[in-house]
Amino acid sequence: MKKQFVFMVIIISLFSTQKINAQSFSMRFYSDFNSGHMGWAAAEFVSPSQRSTIESNFWAMPRRTIERLSNSTSWLAWQALGEWELRNGDMFAIQISETGNFNTGVLLLVTIADGGRSFNWWGKAF
């Protein structure tokens, strides 16, 4: 229970510093019958004025840093980003849960590159 509370405080601090708009951080279920990928994901745009705060909060999170993304996690990240118009240099925070248990999963910070065809990412497991 204490872990859940600490995680929620961190998530709230990540996103409370910026104005939340109508298209903000609501988890959606995605699935692809052919590949077998499925899970929950949401992407929230990080405004340029809030990047340094969000990045500082992200790196201060007491969670394991992720070094590689699974195919499923990568696919879910792209599904969540597909809800947005992507421009080079835009930053998004993406929450992903393959199980539907929002207390476990991955939190990614991504920066859009290559005209929206790729992204650079940093991740934490929770």
Q: Output the pLDDT for position 104.
A: 84
CA distance 124 to 57: 12
On whether the CB atoms of residues 106 and 123 are closer than 8 A, the answer is yes
Supply the pTM of this predicted model.
Answer: 0.80
Q: Residue 99 pLDDT more than 60?
A: yes
Q: Output the pLDDT for position 30.
A: 96
CA distance 78 to 32: 13
Give the amino acid at 64: R
pLDDT tens by residue, 31-81? 999 999 999 999 999 999 999 999 999 999 899 999 999 999 999 999 999
CA distance 91 to 58: 13
Strands 38-46 and 106-113 come out as unpaired
Residue-range domain boundaries for the chain: 2-125
